[in-house]
Structure 1
């Protein structure tokens, strides 16, 4: 998780409003099969309670790795109380004495109590790398953010608490595997199906110096909008109808209504700028999601015993870049990814495999012109 961000000598843009939201810059993942309720997250159960992280910093300090560790479920955003026990941390769903939830499961004698309820089936891994740009077209601050969620544990209890919310959405994907693994795999109630992942940077609005949003249209021209009031700009960068045809559930992303004054088609870069100028001394933040191997073949399968890579599969069917207000005091910019999802290990017994979903995005600091030139000349291009 990125929990501090300064630009041009500013104060930390991730202030008390971001702290109250429990995250600054992070990736989160949910799925429509479970009505977006099941939410394994790097942020933890809530702002002050989560899974300890083993952090490795490379010699020289240019690479920070969050080593593989279990994900706790977020507490539910006030939409689904699955927590019977409070022996580790308080249930945010009112003062119910720790003795009620709505998942319909008898958990009076549950082994592990709250730990069993909250510890998800997923592990999380991340790497944040400061790129060496000394010989690039511009020597900017460029960070590569790589993340991975892995469905490593069998669905014994945690995800089963969400059975009550999946039923209207079951059976909506004809085949979870686009090309790999071989065979036909309709969605199963313990899969993450019609998965929605979001990598985003969040800032306190009263601290944000950014006044304009920039992106590049399909003709390669700069586009710009003023960030004022309740703004929302979405730039569709991927729409794979072949993969999408396997699902009957609409994504509702930026590509669903390009006639909207808020939705556009464009390239894979969005820029938060401090002025309407393309050049000049003021720094901007670029968020760039490359058409890279990790992002194209976003799901991988590994052997549960040896960890050997067994396959890669392309399951993304929609992607957009977004810059928007979340509340009157909070703003968010990043990438939204819609994918067929990942299968639970029970679907992969014949291969003795588990699946992971992965992603990478770059953060670049410079003026908009410099950022674009680095993307075009030193990274994978637009």
Structure 2
């Protein structure tokens, strides 16, 4: 490193702490010597350089020494030639990289915002791969958890390097990071906006982790519940993750499905997610009913609100409620309500048609016995008439009409009495 040609005032501008500025402090010869780098970095710190610039120097140096730590394309051929040291055993190379990573962790600035979160995640991934001491990994986890709301999903997809666990992703690591961040949020050390970003990251991470058939249900539920419910503005991401898990894990019992679906707040589902859940046969019936009931409640409350708002604010209260709504969401909700009513009307008409058809079939079956029924009806009518005439003829004779077996009118016509006598004589 050339100290004479690099005065502190002309090293790099104060507003651009980039890798180009870091190259002004380092030369290619110091990349291969970690001890020389530590001495150089100590001299830079003693000059009072800002922590973010020191972090940029460390990021540049580590990315040159271990290309996997860089988010940029591979280095130039000159750097590659320098990095091509004489052949050595795999164990020696592993020990050298492990010592290098532990040294990098020790020289990180105490300020947690000095190093980008993406670089810390790549450093943590490499540390888990090389089996770095747990103290150094815990330090990296603390730094990552501090800036977890700035992380990207791609960087969080750290594989599981344990031989005991069979999952593809290190879900336990993600759970530790989320729990640390939530604790910081509860203590008021982080802003309240970041917890919403972390909740989205967790839901997206769960959707990817759910594709692993080895992921156990308790691990999935613990990570999903690590984020406070109020941190999720919408549960669409969580619903997508749960649906993916149920799709990939067909052996989940009915009770486990119920327990898993309790994590979803049906009030926080969008219209699209609610429609999908209403037709999802993987969900328990109780969950589907809750989704439908919540959607109906939201529709009614929204309609009542729009009516009250239109009555108080609209200059023309006689307009139709459909004309008072201006947003696309309101129009979509009203259209859905109308479609629902049409479906109900169609189902009622179908039921009525089925009832009419069954009645027609019953009438067609009775049509064959129509004439016998008519004959029976005529004979019954004649019997009633004869009994009535007999009762009329017995008026004043002292006989009770109940002796004939049928109650007849007391007052009859005169003409009928004569006919009744002839009818009695003919019967005798």
TM-score band w.r.t. shorter chain: under 0.3
TM-score w.r.t. the length of structure 1 is 0.19
User: Rg: which structure is higher?
Assistant: 2
TM-score (norm 2): 0.18
Higher normalized helix content (fraction of residues): 2
Query: Which is richer in strand?
Result: 1
Relative CO higher for 1 or 2, CA cutoff 8 Å, sep ≥ 6?
1
